[in-house]
Structure 1
Amino acid sequence: MPIRLSSLPRPLAKVLSAFVAAVGRMDKSLSPSDTIARLRKHTFTLSDSIYVFHLALAAFWITLMQFPPFPYKLLIPILYAIFLLIPLTSQFFLPAIPVASWVLTFYSSRFIPASWRPSISVSLLPTLETVLYGANVSDILTRTTHPVLDIIAWLPYGIIHFVFPFVVAAFLWLFRPKEALHLWARAFGYMNLIGVIIQILIPCAAPWYELIYGLTPANYSMPGSAGGLGRIDALFGGHGYETTFSHSPVVFGAFPSLHAGCATIEALFISQFFPEMTKYIWAYAGVLYWATMYLTHHYLIDVVSGACLATACFYFFLPDEFRGPRATAPPASLGRRSKYDLYDVQNSRGRVADMDELELSSEDEEGADITYRSPVPGSNNAPLQQQQKAVAGKKSHRHTASIASLIRAEERVEDGWSPIMGSFAFPPNSPGRDRERADERV
């Protein structure tokens, strides 16, 4: 049984309508030859060299990767290449290459040999914290804890943070042009990739390390800690966060805070493309900033650096076309007006045939609608002239006349009105035809 949108709640109907339109905009081809044909027609520019960087980065990390072992790890580039060849999947996986590079870098960083790794800084962040802000802000925020505060901090930091990027991507896909989704993949992916590379090159201990080990030197054999999220495990009787953080690929990745970076770039995108949600998304970002320090995972300087990194990536990749009103414009297929709205015509579904199929386009030399003309001299056409003036005030369009008005036109001439017998005759008059009409009238 088909679902009628009018029977659904308005927000749900709007989302469903946008989903149908978004699916209609997709390239549904499964033929790799279509992708190869597009690649042959593509004019390569200097900006395309970024894909060489991603290819070299992927080759480096897959070479270091120990799990899955060889040759199973070769399935990763093979499957991704297949997704890039199929047009249906390529339209998502090609823009998401920066995101894939970030995920691969984050996961494979655990396999970096110890001899390649830089030394871990334990005192750098708390020292900078004190110098810049006059105190250890994270330490101040963690002195008072409460189960209610734990829940408030856990929701954005431990749950929403991992889900919200997909929510932003989904809303951009549904309600904004596809270029907005590609922009999201680029800015979000490169921000996280840059952040992880900084964390690998400048490893710094988080506040939880200072609480557990003090300022003693750290080494890469030390497991990570869930920090304040351990209280969530105790509250629910589980060990999920302790297990996850103890096996984290980047244990000493406090600087910069990618939790703060993700919240900032999400808030920037929502504010830019959905400005009516600005105050709500920045409230979420503010709570997450506090949560990163309350749960002893970041110093304030980490939060500030993550927010600055996100802001820099956002404005670096934001094109000029999205700096104006087009940022809030819907996709073409979603914002297109129907033919009834375009011509201010009421849709009548009860008719046997669609009158649009019976329209004949014509245009008068004087720009006047032929349906408001009386071809009979001296006839009272004042009401029609008033209607004509009213129509002239509206947006001009090509005038149309129904083919139905041509049916039995000769008979309607006898009643004093015909849409076709004023300035021209149909069919053309002949002397013989005129004599036959005179005889019939007698």
Structure 2
Amino acid sequence: MNFMTPSWDLALFEFANGVFRNGLFDWLMPLISSAVFLWLIVLGGLALGARRYGKAQLAGLLILALAVGAADGGTNLVKKATGRVRPLNALAQTHFVEDGQWQQRPADFVQTKVHGNSYPSAHAANAMAAAVLIWLLWPGTRRYVWAMPLLVGWSRLYLGKHYPTDVLMGWLFGIGAALAVWIVLKLVRGGRPLGLPGG
């Protein structure tokens, strides 16, 4: 599939990848973009709530894992169908990390890859799926939970891994996956509460 990049998409990517570069972000963004970051946030939140909600936390973790798994699987299917090449393999002067070191494509860089896995962003989908389920299950987190997918999405641009449209579609996938898991669980339980605050 030939995937054209709109001018606004390219402009936003170049802004995120090139304008606000600094040493702190160069260190922080790879951490935020790692799967470890996502699960540390989730597990940290569960641990803090365990004293209050007890065994219900385990059910919440399983529900989160289902939603994140659905988001991840769905995005991977679309990635294979679209084949969009990642910015770091398509655009000159893109900043990216390889083998733990920051690099930049030269000004005369020419794309050689014809098939990639940029669209949509699984990282963005997974973070959004987790955020939506956390929002539904633990209402006390509602003021803070959206920071996670926003930071993860920004990190994917900063790292040269995705275009903004990849991230936006990833977020939509994440919302859809989380709501699908939520609705199925409600149907399986006959509309009864899930046994968690907000459930």
Q: Is TM-score (shorter-chain normalized) higher than 0.5?
A: yes
2:136 pairs with 1:272: yes
Q: Percent identity?
A: 16
Cα offset for 1:211? 2.1
Distance 1:200 1:161, change over 3 A: farther
Identify the residue that residue 196 of structure 2 maps to in structure 1: 327
Counterpart-to-counterpart distance in 2, 1:211 and 1:323: 51
Identify the residue that residue 189 of structure 1 maps to in structure 2: 69
Kept in 2, the 8 Å contact 1:161–1:259? The answer is no
Kept in 1, the 8 Å contact 2:84–2:116? The answer is yes
**Amino acid in the other structure paired with 2:5:** P
Distance 1:165 1:199, change over 3 A: farther
**1:17-32 counterparts in 2 under 5 A?**
none
Over residues 249-298 of structure 1, what are the superposed CA-to-partner deviations in whole Å (9 max), with x where a residue is unaligned?
xx811111011011101111221222222333311221111111111111
**Amino acid in the other structure paired with 1:202:** T
Cα offset for 1:304? 0.8
Identify the residue that residue 153 of structure 1 maps to in structure 2: 29
**Amino acid in the other structure paired with 2:80:** I
Identify the residue that residue 202 of structure 1 maps to in structure 2: 82
**Amino acid in the other structure paired with 2:33:** Y
RMSD: 3.6
**Amino acid in the other structure paired with 2:139:** P
Kept in 2, the 8 Å contact 1:267–1:278? The answer is no
Pick the aligned partner of 1:228 from 85, 96, 115. Answer: 96
**Amino acid in the other structure paired with 1:141:** A
Q: Give the TM-score, by structure 1 length.
A: 0.35
Q: Secondary structure at the match of 1:286?
A: helix
**Amino acid in the other structure paired with 1:259:** H
**Amino acid in the other structure paired with 2:29:** A
2:11 pairs with 1:136: yes
**Amino acid in the other structure paired with 1:152:** L
Q: Which has the larger radius of gyration?
A: 1
Distance 1:200 1:267, change over 3 A: same
Counterpart-to-counterpart distance in 2, 1:252 and 1:142: 19
Kept in 2, the 8 Å contact 1:228–1:295? The answer is yes
**Amino acid in the other structure paired with 2:32:** P
Which consecutive unaligned segments of at least 5 residues does structure 2 have?
104-114
Q: Secondary structure at the match of 2:160?
A: coil
Matched length = 178
Distance 1:177 1:281, change over 3 A: closer
Greater relative contact order (Cα 8 A, min sep 6): structure 1 or 2? 2
Q: Secondary structure at the match of 1:253?
A: coil
Which consecutive unaligned segments of at least 5 residues does structure 1 have?
1-118, 215-226, 236-250, 331-442
Distance 1:134 1:213, change over 3 A: closer
Counterpart-to-counterpart distance in 2, 1:163 and 1:134: 29
**Amino acid in the other structure paired with 1:147:** G
Distance 1:149 1:201, change over 3 A: same
Q: Secondary structure at the match of 1:306?
A: helix
